[in-house]
Amino acid sequence: MDIAGVQKQPDAGIQWTEQAALDALNSMGLRAKARLLADVTSEVGLVRFLKWARGAGKEFVVLGEGTNVIFGDEFLDLVVLRLSGDFNRFAVKGEGITTGAAVSLARLVREAHKAGLSGLEDAWGIPGSLGGAIVGNAGTPNWAIGDCISWVEVFDRSGMKHRLTASKISFSYRQSTLGEQIIARAHLRLEGDSVEHIGERIKRVRARRGGQPHGVRSAGCIFKNPAGESAGRLIEAAGLKGLRRGGAVVSTDHANFIVHEGNATGSDVIWLIDEIRSQIHERFGINLEMEVRLLRSAK
Ligand code: EPU
């Protein structure tokens, strides 16, 4: 892969790693390497990266905090883009927060609470970066991040920047129309409230999350909930809690989680996913749709 031309430029805002280990870059803790990882720290670097990818005809995938992703292959023949540096900045102003896409949702929940801004309480406990949360419209049954977006700044794959107001974006259950774009910044529209009230709501959200596995290696919910149903409830009803393949197991706390207990590979996880899907289809006639993103080498 020819990255020499880009590497030679000073302050490029890009750090390139070939054969990059991704083990620490996914909450599932799966072992994987990417052909090339580009850590981009500024908008200048991002434009440069996008021009390089276009010029070289390279497809790439964007990786946030890796909390909603499964690496399907140990060697990912892919170019992976990550944002850090400037994309990790945020500013609280009036009743809103302007924030880079790399800032974690957990941090934004804390900062909003401190600043007496309500609207993000339901995001308590949702892992991942804001960018990933926006693309997948992360949320709970009562709330999703799309509810408090006033605008999003994105770069298209040719390197052009666009500011999209909420009315130009369609958010629906665990999806948005932003999939192809690279999210750089966003503005969250919140509402002033007392720190105490916000704290009480966070406590209630925390209590609701009690049934989910904590402190384990997972990618959160694997499947979307079918209309009017809970994927976790169906998987439990099919008797699949505890089903194991290698070091990967269907959580006994919440059946819509697969937990990496040690030495699991992406193919173990994929095997479990296929098995769950086929058993749920057989028993209930329902096709479970993936909620996590599966990354595999381009074939
Ligand atoms: N249930 C079971 N068995 C299980 C799991 C759940 O019977 O193994 C039952 C629960 O008792 C409850 C119902 O199913 O009555 C719903 O469960 P829960 O409240 O845990 O919510 P969920 O619908 O399974 C959704 C989101 C979660 C989010 C919670 C917040 C989806 C696919 N999942 O889960 O999001 O944290 O609500 O309450 O929309 C994620 O996106 O990664 C994720 C985990």
What are φ and ψ of residue 9, in 5° steps? -75, 130
Ligand 1 centroid, distance to 225 Cα (angstroms): 8
Collapse the DSSP code of 146 into the 3-class scheme (helix H, G, I; strand E, B; otherwise coil) and give the result. helix
CA 288 from chain center: how many Å?
19
Task: With a cut of 70, say whether residue 266 has pLDDT above it.
Answer: yes
What are the start-end ranges of the H helices in 78-230?
105-114, 130-135, 195-208
Residues 6+ apart with CB under 8 A from 182: 46, 50, 62, 81, 83, 154, 155, 156, 157
**Catalytic residue positions?**
174, 221, 291
Closest ligand 1 atom to the C-alpha of 291? 32
**Structural contact between residues 295 and 61, judged by C-beta atoms closer than 8 angstroms:** yes
Ligand 1 centroid, distance to 151 Cα (angstroms): 29
The tens digit of pLDDT for each residue in 73-125 reads 999 999 999 999 999 999 999 999 999 999 999 999 999 999 999 999 999 99
**Structural contact between residues 130 and 101, judged by C-beta atoms closer than 8 angstroms:** yes
Q: Which residues of 63-88 are buried (b: 16+ CB within 10 A; e: fewer)?
A: bbbbbbbbbbbeebebbbbbbebbbb
For the whole model, what pTM was predicted?
0.94
